[in-house]
Amino acid sequence: MRIQQLEYLEKIVETGSINEAAKQLFISQPSLSQAMKEMEKEYKIQLFYRTKLGITLTNEGREFINYSRGILDQVNLLDERFGKTTTRKHIFSVSGQHYAFVVHAFVELVKKIGQDEYQFTLRETQTQNVLDDIQTFKSELGLNDL
């Protein structure tokens, strides 16, 4: 079992959907699905009922995530004490309209640079908001189709 898998699980429960969780975790949906399968196999339990409207936890799954949170809480304590997040990160933010190529390029950038030194933010909004974000220095980069 990897700590990462537990974090994945948390996100899935939070969103109620493997698809949505995968987007927020910046990984592909099959990878996430497989990661959960691995844990289910490792502990020989079933975590979710898979339905067409996302997923719901089984009773075992509910119990499992309680233990999982105990672990993640301890991990967070360690990370906070030993400066995983204490060092102020540089910020790089992009505001733009919703286009697949924007999201894709942004994800690729995040993966290439890594999140050790930078805090990345992508804001998907409307034309005028993009202009405002740039004018107020809320984002470093704006994309419009004007």
Partner DNA sequence: GCGCGTTACGGGCGCCGTAAGGATG
Partner DNA sequence: CATCCTTACGGCGCCCGTAACGCGC
> Which of a second copy, DNA, none does residue 93 bind (CB under 5 to 8 Å by kind)?
none
Return the residue of 9, 13, 36, 57 that touches DNA, per CB under 7 A.
36
| Residue 124 CB contacts under 8 Å (≥ 6 apart), including other chains | 96, 97, 98, 102, 103
- Given the rule CB under 8 A, which residues bind a second copy? 1-3, 43-45, 63-64, 67-68, 70-71, 73-75, 77-78, 81-84
Is residue 102 within 8 Å of 96, Cβ to Cβ? Answer: yes
Q: Which of these ranges, 51-59, 75-83, 87-95, 125-133, lies near DNA under the rule CB under 7 A?
A: 51-59
Return the residue of 24, 28, 74, 127 that touches DNA, per CB under 7 A.
28
Q: In terms of C-beta density within 10 A (0-12 exposed, 13-18 middle, 19 or more buried), how is residue 143 classed?
A: middle
Structural tokens at position 57 = 């936890």
